[in-house]
Structure 1
Amino acid sequence: MSEIPVIAIFDVGKTNKKLFLFDEQYRIIFERTARFMETVDEDGAPCENLESLRLSVFDSLREVFRKKEWQIKAINFSTYGASLVYIDEEGRPLTPLYNYLKAYPAALSEQFYHQYGGATAFSVQSASPVLGSLNSGMQLYRLKYEQPDIYRQVKYSLHLPQYMSYLLTGVACADITSIGCHTNLWDFQRNNYHKWVTEEGVLGKLAPLFSSNEVMPAAFPGNNYLVGTGLHDSSAALIPYLVNFQEPFVLISTGTWCISLNPFNDTPLTTEELEADCLCYMTFQGKPVKASRLFAGYEHEQQVKRIAAHFNQHTGRYRNIDFDSDMIRRLKARNQQETPIPAAEKKVLQSSEFEQRDLNTFASDIEAYHQLMLDIAHQQYIATKRVLSGDKVKRIFVDGGFSKNAIYMNLLAAFFPEIEIFAASMAQATAMGAALAIHGAWNSKPLPNNLIELKYYSLTHDVSL
């Protein structure tokens, strides 16, 4: 029996760390999941256990290399972004893997933006709102001023996907999907590193920039395989869609955050868009992707708990509620008689109107849940509309948790009657994107055109919004 050619993908989320093996048809033939206890940094703030992650990579590879039925042709990585690993001359990490949610010192932030043109102008250049530690370049700036002794020892600052690649290759590299994603390192107007990176001497702490489809030989023992540079997870998740669809589309990637990504909109971000939590990501080909973020998954989770508690129900009840167009019509008529919060005045849409609603006004928990989804879908409409300019978008794809929510999907179709709305599903889009990025380096077959399963949601004509 001949060995099956496969690619191994490490897909590292904040909670779950996964290893997948894909065959040449991009079918998952092996999956392993691990979770690690968080540790704390020197300030007592929670952070990733970098040593556990490093050992897990090596242990997982030893396991799959022992399997004689597979031939690993390549390995790549997709991980959450905004996290830097500072390594010394020997490649050893010098600090904990600081959490991107860690509070950023106000005085240091003020010093930075004052020196480099002010927060508003800088945000336009870097295509990102001011996000504190979530702007990962600010973590490096902080290290320079708060821990200068450690900063002097830094050979390279690697984003987490590139550190994982470094573990197997010994080659330090930077990748545009990580550098170009709300880091404050990249100037989208100049399409190059921002001037502060040079003026602060930070450029010397950044590894050479590689293309996202480049591969390197492995230094870790095993068979003869190649290693990719690693990708930021949001950019990786977009790759299967870019491979399969050429006509302009928007992808709404739903989870805790619902992110509307338009890879066909290259208009510069405006100050108003930045204030409304718009930003730019970068495709694996190095093209800007205008995006808007919404905290809708988190909002949904919190409000479902409130509904369930009020009506004495289990939260699992709301996973598969059928869409009731009559109920939506009644709720819409009732809402029109109330005084709404003007949508134009809501600059940051991080909480829905529903949290202000009195649950005693609803006849049932199902009615309350329909109102919650109506509020979230309206919020989503405003957020997604912000990135629709540019080439005429003909389709909106929704993946992740809300793609399985019939109420959300039908309401989206009603809010966007001129655009085809599809629920998209595929096995592990982020990991698959990391595999597709280096397709030519390991796969002898042509790119498949059936990676994504689509379900069309037509406009329900008796519900116009």
Structure 2
Amino acid sequence: MKQSKPIPVTAIFDIGRTNKKFFLFDKDYKILQKQQTNLEPTKDEDGYPCEELEALDSWVRTKLKKALQNDGFTVKRLNFSAYGASFVHLDRNGQAVTPLYNYLKDYPEELLEKLYQDYGGEEQFSLETSSPPMGMLNSGLQLYWLKHKRPLKFKEIQHSLHFPQYLSHLICGKLSTELTSIGCHTALWNYDTEDYHQWTQEEDIAELFPKIQTVFQTYDTDYEQSSFKTGIGIHDSSAALAPYLIAFEEPFILASTGTWSINLNPFNDEPLTFGELKKDCLCYMNIFGNQVKAARFFLGKEYQHQTKKLSDHFNRKFVEGSVELDPELIQKLAANPDPAKKLKLEKGHNSGPYPQEEQGDWEVHQFDSYKEGYHQLLLDLVAIQVASLKLAEGSTDIEKVIVTGGFSQSDFFTTLLASLLPEKKIYTSSLPHASALGAAMVVNNDTDKKRADVFQEKLGLTHHEPHDKLKGLNYSWAQSVAG
């Protein structure tokens, strides 16, 4: 029996902090194969958890080798989507000089103060770089920290690669930098001059970065007796935005929900104000090198924390989707002026549109039932989501909001969001692996608007109407959450 010809595929590694995924896509971006793993973290020299680079490198090489050896497929292109705010620093022999530091690691306050003092003050520095002060999450400051706190290690560094570009380098051996990684709250890029910020020059840091390439750059690669093109890698948030940006001509805001809610507006190029930075606004760059205004909130973390408290107090196992929206109860809670019942942010207090000092615990025992407490929680979280969306919208007039991620699966959340935003059209997307798909589209340079209908079909959009009894619900909670 004659063997069928192998299927040409695009291979994508989608590397998250928790889940590491490997995909094979056909020419129409159908997933032919998906594999996933979780790798145990290691610890850096201070005992702080971080990515185990050797284990990750081994997993990537092993999965790619098996795909190349599979007679059913021919890998034509390879690309990487990976989390940002992370660097791998290489010495002159191409070996990692330091661990891949965790971006949640504490940053020395006195060092941050010195940086701001030397380069125009916190406000000017943050505005020029469109980067809220976030310590290690401003990944460029990791290099500043190394220079001043680990000078011997810093001297060993020959090249610093953003994490997606390190993964590409692992296979093709090329050294690159690209804008979706540089532009993501790194404190490296001056959005006014469209170049590296002055401080990176004066601190001898800019010279560590390889030449900037476009996100569509590919390299001819010979690996494991196979030949294919390897992409440069892409920051995962920009990758997840790419399919929507390619599919739609009309403006939209993409509300990516999960542990973080990140509201991305690719149609707002206004400079950020310092007030907006303080409210957790920042800038990303899209695949075309243009600014994306974003507003964040620690939505999922707060939700998980408070639903556990409610479950523990009412001795009820939490089951997602088990509480249906009760419009009469929502109206009653919205009309209640008692500030004691309003949500007190415990995990997200220093994020989002209303950053604040910690206010203490939300007293869930004051509610008569689990149902009542859950309704108050969702009402307040959605109210913050609305405020965050409006920050991302700015002065642009955008009708379409597309909700992705975990909260897009909650009818309670999406119906309430549509009810509080009756002037908007709220959609959810069923696209499960947007960052992997975006990385695949980019490495194939597939941005042809003539295929927009094909791409739109993959997004699986569902329109969500306001509840008849809640449409235009007036709920002014900003004052209470802002304290």
Task: Show CA shifts across 1:172-215 (max 9, x none).
Answer: 00010100001010001111110111111111101110100111
Say whether residues 1:78 and 2:81 are aligned partners: yes
SS state of the match for residue 128, structure 2?
Answer: helix
The one-letter code of the counterpart of 1:388 is E
Counterpart in the other structure of 1:379: 384
Counterpart in the other structure of 2:314: 311
- Following superposition, the deviation at residue 300 of structure 1 comes to 0.2
SS state of the match for residue 23, structure 2?
Answer: strand
Task: Show CA shifts across 1:321-372 (max 9, x none).
Answer: 32222221222222479797999x9985368999854323323212211111
Q: Is the 8 A contact 2:341 2:366 kept in 1?
A: no
Match of 1:206 among 179, 204, 209: 209
Task: Show CA shifts across 1:237-275 (max 9, x none).
Answer: 100110111111101100100001000011000011001
SS state of the match for residue 445, structure 2?
Answer: helix
Task: Show CA shifts across 1:436-465 (max 9, x none).
Answer: 11223899x956331201111112231123
Residues 1:236 and 1:208: Cα distance change in structure 2 (over 3 Å): same
How far apart, in 1, do the equivalents of 2:225 and 2:424 lie? 49
How far apart, in 2, do the equivalents of 1:329 and 1:246 lie? 37
Q: Is the 8 A contact 1:422 1:457 kept in 2?
A: yes
- Following superposition, the deviation at residue 110 of structure 1 comes to 1.2
Say whether residues 1:457 and 2:470 are aligned partners: no
How far apart, in 2, do the equivalents of 1:130 and 1:92 lie? 31
- Following superposition, the deviation at residue 276 of structure 1 comes to 0.5
How far apart, in 2, do the equivalents of 1:292 and 1:46 lie? 27
Q: How does 1:256-405 map to 2 (within 5 A)?
A: 256-315=259-318, 317-335=319-337, 349=354, 357-405=362-410
Q: Is the 8 A contact 2:353 2:387 kept in 1?
A: no
Say whether residues 1:234 and 2:241 are aligned partners: no
Say whether residues 1:171 and 2:178 are aligned partners: no
The one-letter code of the counterpart of 1:162 is Q
TM-score normalised according to structure 2 size: 0.91
How far apart, in 2, do the equivalents of 1:446 and 1:457 lie? 26
The one-letter code of the counterpart of 2:75 is I
Residues 1:14 and 1:347: Cα distance change in structure 2 (over 3 Å): closer
The one-letter code of the counterpart of 1:4 is I
Counterpart in the other structure of 1:66: 69
Residue identity over aligned pairs, in percent, reads 40
The one-letter code of the counterpart of 1:325 is P
Say whether residues 1:408 and 2:410 are aligned partners: no
Residues 1:86 and 1:339: Cα distance change in structure 2 (over 3 Å): closer
Residues 1:435 and 1:346: Cα distance change in structure 2 (over 3 Å): closer
How far apart, in 2, do the equivalents of 1:156 and 1:454 lie? 42
The one-letter code of the counterpart of 2:424 is I
How far apart, in 2, do the equivalents of 1:341 and 1:70 lie? 53
Say whether residues 1:181 and 2:184 are aligned partners: yes
Match of 2:19 among 16, 21, 24: 16
SS state of the match for residue 413, structure 2?
Answer: helix
The one-letter code of the counterpart of 1:327 is L
Match of 1:148 among 151, 154, 161: 151
How far apart, in 2, do the equivalents of 1:457 and 1:202 lie? 48
Task: Show CA shifts across 1:268-289 (max 9, x none).
Answer: 0001100111100110111111
Residues 1:235 and 1:373: Cα distance change in structure 2 (over 3 Å): same
Unaligned runs of 5+ in 2: 475-483
SS state of the match for residue 314, structure 1?
Answer: coil
- Following superposition, the deviation at residue 423 of structure 1 comes to 1.1
Q: Is the 8 A contact 2:278 2:355 kept in 1?
A: no
Match of 2:422 among 406, 409, 417: 417
Residues 1:350 and 1:14: Cα distance change in structure 2 (over 3 Å): farther
Counterpart in the other structure of 1:246: 249
TM-score normalised according to structure 1 size: 0.94
How far apart, in 2, do the equivalents of 1:460 and 1:351 lie? 32
Unaligned runs of 5+ in 1: none
Residues 1:52 and 1:446: Cα distance change in structure 2 (over 3 Å): same
The one-letter code of the counterpart of 1:370 is H
Counterpart in the other structure of 2:117: 114
Q: Is the 8 A contact 2:12 2:440 kept in 1?
A: yes
Stretch of structure 1 that moved more, 139-148 or 71-80? 139-148
How far apart, in 1, do the equivalents of 2:351 and 2:288 lie? 34
